[in-house]
A and B are shown apart, each in its own frame.
Chain A
Amino acid sequence: MIKFFQRMGPLGSVAVGFVALVVLGALLAPIIAPYDPTIGSVIQRYQGPSLAHLLGTDQAGRDIFSRLLWGARSSLTGPLIVVVVTAVFGTTLALTSVWWGGMVDSFMSRVLDLLFAFPNLLLAMLAIAVFGPSLTTAALALSIAYIPYTARVIRSTAMRERNLPYIRSPQLQGISGLTITVRHLLPNVAPLIVTGATINFGFAMIELAALSFLGLGVQPPQADWGVMVSNGQQSLLKGYPAESVLAGLCIVLTVSALGVVGERLGGRAAAGRKA
């Protein structure tokens, strides 16, 4: 544990701490949130920070602090779905095509190339057009958009490992491809999967928030950081910036904290990948 924080460095440790705090806030939202996130009273609209409302209230008199806590839930579960689905399918695709090579590999590459042709958000919006707006649709569609990136990275590393003696010799011994892949190949690409997932989480958070901002992801009145930024737009222009700015800051801080963690984990610059 101490070793982990040493590896992270001071900035990295702060980042890990911040992410942990956000996760904790999301988990404990029902217990620690002082108000219901969707119910407010119009008499109490646009209040400044006070002991009763730590961060003030929005245009419908809802407590912003409670909404941020509850909003953390959908803002974290969305990217979590994306990251898990992407990691599972991306890794499976990559390892299968590396193991079989030849026709299988070139077929998979074609399919991935086709997916590369769609900008991420466009793919998500097409899926939403067909299935209707919801967080699940948005998250699953984004996962499909992310799979090619993950698969390509894992494939290129696994390709190099494929011809090393520790993979070749059990193959000669007649051990099944599935066993070798799961027991030997997978552990050797695992760090890559973890780093990729950390980086993807940040991108997914931004893109899902963007979809919610467009009204195509999480639906109001449910609290979500993207929804809150969008919901607060009118208030912001009228001179009550609290809701939009605080929700936006939550996204910015969480994403940059994850960026720092991902970079420390992977050692490579996370920023090279396209948004």
Chain B
Amino acid sequence: MMFVMRRLLALAGVLVVSSFLVFAAMYAAPGSPENFLVQGRTVSPEVLAAIREQYSLDDPFFVRFWNWLTNVLQGDFGLSLSNRQDVGELLANRLPTTLMLVLLAAIVIVVLGLGLGIGAGVRDGFVDKIVLLGSNLGFAVPTFFAALLLMSIFSVGLGWFPVFGSGTGFLDRIWHLTLPALALALPSAAVVARITRTAIREERDSEHSVMASARGVPGRLVLRRHVIRNSMLPVSTIVGVHIAGLIAGSFVVEYAFTLDGLGTLLVSAVQRKDFAVVQAIAIILVAAFGIINLLVDLLYAAIDPRVGTRRSK
């Protein structure tokens, strides 16, 4: 429990410092926000002053940061610079798509990565060779390229899946998000399959498995109780790291499939220099990244009692 508290405190610290850095970077960025807001029209100094007043651009840096931070803590992310919508509302509309995409991709990674890895680790010969080759190529395929290939084969060519959009309703959404999730998960699944295969092989040759077989324990039981169980330790860390990595990868896939998720919002906000939106998404993503990493560490400690939560970092 102490460990969880300490890690949460550390995460909070990281969030405050990183939000400060992000805020400072946006503050120092060339070009002033009010010029962006008037979009090159010539306006009277009074209007400019009014805009500065409305967005409180004249306050000192630290005052602005403090106001922004306290507002964010109360769930108020301010107004978007480009269309004056409430940023919190914008994000809330976009969040479900991204969450679902990441969740589906995580499931694909676990099922495909572990399944293929265990298959290749347990069986020698053909299956093993194919999985090894596939995983070697798989991790080199950029997600956006995988997205385009899947789209052209299964949506345009065979017409099994919709090409764009994220659908309405639960099932429709899953149907729309299947290909994006596959594209997003592919490189990670390849890596996980490979690590799993290696772990299983090592565990199969270990003394306790050989001993168990020698004692006459049936092969399937040895596999289940000794080999697979023990090999899951290194695998779980890699799976965790890759699931956390999906957060950033999802931008690219969302963009390729034109899904209305956080990623596409971030890309357009970056292009339009809509700093209010960029800041908000950055902070949310850093928080999500940190929380997933924390959960992975906790899970790791739960799987292996030898990993004490007290002494690890």
Do A and B share a complex? Answer: yes
Interface residues of A (CB under 8 A from B): 113-114, 117-122, 125-131, 133, 202, 206, 209-210, 213-216, 226, 229-230, 233, 236-237, 239, 241, 244-245, 248, 251-253, 255-256, 259-260, 269, 271-272, 274-275
The answer, among A216, A226, A241, A269, for a CB contact under 8 Å with B195, is A269
The total of interchain contacts (Cβ-Cβ below 8 angstroms) comes to: 146
A130 to chain B, nearest CB (A): 4
CB contact under 8 A between A210 and B252, given known A117-B14, A119-B285:
yes
Indicate if the CB atoms of A275 and B29 lie closer than 8 Å.
no
A214 to B256, CA, bound (A): 8
CB contact under 8 A between A233 and B256, given known A117-B14, A125-B266, A130-B28:
yes
Q: Which 10 A-B pairs have the closest CB atoms?
A: A119-B248, A248-B145, A256-B140, A255-B140, A121-B248, A130-B29, A129-B270, A274-B241, A271-B191, A213-B144
Indicate if the CB atoms of A229 and B17 lie closer than 8 Å.
no
Indicate if the CB atoms of B145 and A117 lie closer than 8 Å.
no
A271 to B245, CA, bound (A): 14
B240 to chain A, nearest CB (A): 10
A236 to chain B, nearest CB (A): 5
Residues of chain B within 8 A of A127, CB atoms compared: 25
Indicate if the CB atoms of A216 and B267 lie closer than 8 Å.
yes
A253 to B142, CA, bound (A): 11
Indicate if the CB atoms of A269 and B148 lie closer than 8 Å.
no
Q: Does chain A have a CB within 8 A of B251?
A: yes
20 A-B residue pairings within 8 Å (CB atoms): A119-B247, A119-B248, A122-B247, A126-B25, A128-B270, A129-B269, A129-B275, A130-B25, A130-B30, A209-B142, A213-B144, A214-B252, A236-B152, A248-B141, A248-B148, A251-B145, A256-B137, A259-B136, A259-B140, A275-B191
Q: Does chain A have a CB within 8 A of B143?
A: yes
Q: Does chain A have a CB within 8 A of B255?
A: yes
A137 to chain B, nearest CB (A): 11
Indicate if the CB atoms of B248 and A271 lie closer than 8 Å.
no
Indicate if the CB atoms of A214 and B251 lie closer than 8 Å.
yes
> Which of A122, A236, A244 has the most CB atoms of chain B within a 10 A radius of its CB?
A122
**What per-residue 1/0 map shows which CB atoms of B244-275 lie under 8 Å from chain A?**
11011101100110000000001101110101
Indicate if the CB atoms of A216 and B270 lie closer than 8 Å.
yes
Interface residues of B (CB under 8 A from A): 14-15, 17-18, 21-22, 25-26, 28-30, 135-137, 139-145, 148-149, 151-152, 156, 163, 187-188, 190-191, 194-195, 198, 238, 241-242, 244-245, 247-249, 251-252, 255-256, 266-267, 269-271, 273, 275, 278, 282, 285-286, 289-290
A51 to B149, CA, bound (A): 27
Residues of chain B within 8 A of A119, CB atoms compared: 244-245, 247-248, 285, 289
Please give me the residue from chain A that is nearest to B163 by CB atom: A237
Residues of chain A within 8 A of B149, CB atoms compared: 245, 248
Indicate if the CB atoms of B140 and A252 lie closer than 8 Å.
yes
Residues of chain A within 8 A of B145, CB atoms compared: 229, 244, 248, 251-252
Indicate if the CB atoms of A122 and B137 lie closer than 8 Å.
no
Residues of chain B within 8 A of A252, CB atoms compared: 137, 140-142, 145
Residues of chain B within 8 A of A255, CB atoms compared: 140
Please give me the residue from chain A that is nearest to B139 by CB atom: A271
Residues of chain B within 8 A of A274, CB atoms compared: 241-242, 244-245
Indicate if the CB atoms of A133 and B156 lie closer than 8 Å.
no
The answer, among A118, A237, A271, A275, for a CB contact under 8 Å with B194, is A271
A206 to chain B, nearest CB (A): 5
Indicate if the CB atoms of A129 and B278 lie closer than 8 Å.
yes
> Which of B26, B194, B252, B289 has the most CB atoms of chain A within a 10 A radius of its CB?
B252
CB contact under 8 A between A133 and B25, given known A117-B18, A206-B142, A255-B140:
no
Residues of chain B within 8 A of A210, CB atoms compared: 142-144, 252
A159 to chain B, nearest CB (A): 15
Indicate if the CB atoms of B18 and A275 lie closer than 8 Å.
no
Please give me the residue from chain A that is nearest to B237 by CB atom: A272
Indicate if the CB atoms of B191 and A229 lie closer than 8 Å.
no
Indicate if the CB atoms of A275 and B187 lie closer than 8 Å.
yes
The answer, among B18, B135, B137, B269, for a CB contact under 8 Å with A114, is B18
* Given A206-B142, A251-B145, A271-B190, 8 more pairs with CB closer than 8 A: A117-B290, A118-B18, A118-B289, A119-B247, A119-B289, A130-B29, A214-B255, A260-B136
A244 to B15, CA, bound (A): 39
A215 to B195, CA, bound (A): 33
A133 to B270, CA, bound (A): 9
Indicate if the CB atoms of B152 and A129 lie closer than 8 Å.
no
A63 to chain B, nearest CB (A): 21
Indicate if the CB atoms of B148 and A233 lie closer than 8 Å.
yes
CB contact under 8 A between A122 and B136, given known A229-B144, A248-B145:
no
